Amino acid sequence: MLLIIIRTVILYAAIVIVMRVMGKREIGQLQPFELVVALMIADLAAIPMQNTGIPLLSGIIPIVILMAAQVTLSYISLKSEKARTVFCGRPSVLVANGKLVEKELRYLRYNINDLLEQLRSKDYPNIADVEFAILETNGQLSVIPKSQKRAVQPEDLKLETKYEGMPVTVVMDGKVVKENLKKINLNEDWLKTELNKFGINDFKKVFFASLDTAGKLFYQLKANSGGGSV
């Protein structure tokens, strides 16, 4: 039993490292060749994990080879348009200028019910509101609505808007994120002063705190003690 646990931990660590090297993508965002590699890696890891008679290297070496092949193909796809078309394919336009592209639907064996279901999931229950619908190479459907049906933007109303950047996390689970404070030219003394205004004298009481680009501090105390902003 101990041997199985050790082999499982080693293979798990190897797969985690391999998947990290291969890049950050969700399953739904994988290209076909990337999905094949992921499935093959899972199968290769399962065999030596279950059968202690098979050397660990018999599972790890093929996994590393697949990782190298995937990274190589990804690099080639990045540099070559032709290779990218061969490995990943091309996006397919299913709705163009408000009309269904029957030829493309038949070629992809993509029926209208599937298309309507995907449109509903994108909050477009009426196909008449859609200008373009594009099936991307990873299988996701991108929808471009007609100009009359798109959400109103501040630019449409000629409104001026302020810059909104990403809030910076300054406290996480009772610990000050010093690197983030340094990036925004602040320090722990400033943070302590700001929290003291709310009667908070110990960072350990703070579950989360962040500072937005307008200088407003948001915080939440541990154990559902409440939160607020400055």
Q: Which helix (H) or strand (E) holds 37?
A: helix 32-50
Q: What is the pTM of this model?
A: 0.64
Same domain, 96 and 82: no
The domain in which residue 133 lies consists of 92-149
Give the type of residue at 110. Y
Instruction: Assess whether pLDDT exceeds 70 at residue 24.
Output: no
Positive or negative, the CA dihedral 62, 67, 68, 73 is positive
Instruction: Assess whether pLDDT exceeds 90 at residue 102.
Output: yes
pLDDT: which is higher, 79 or 23? 79
The pLDDT value given to residue 28? 55
Among 131, 135, 140, smallest CA distance to 91 is for 135
User: Measured between alpha carbons, how far is 228 from 217 in angstroms, rounded to an integer?
Assistant: 8
In a domain, 159, yes or no: no
pLDDT digit string (tens) for 119-145? 999 999 999 999 999 998 878 899 999
How many domains would you assign to the chain? Answer: 3
| Domain edge (last residue) among 47, 66, 86 | 86
Q: Which pLDDT band, with edges at 50, 70 and 90, does 89 fall under?
A: confident
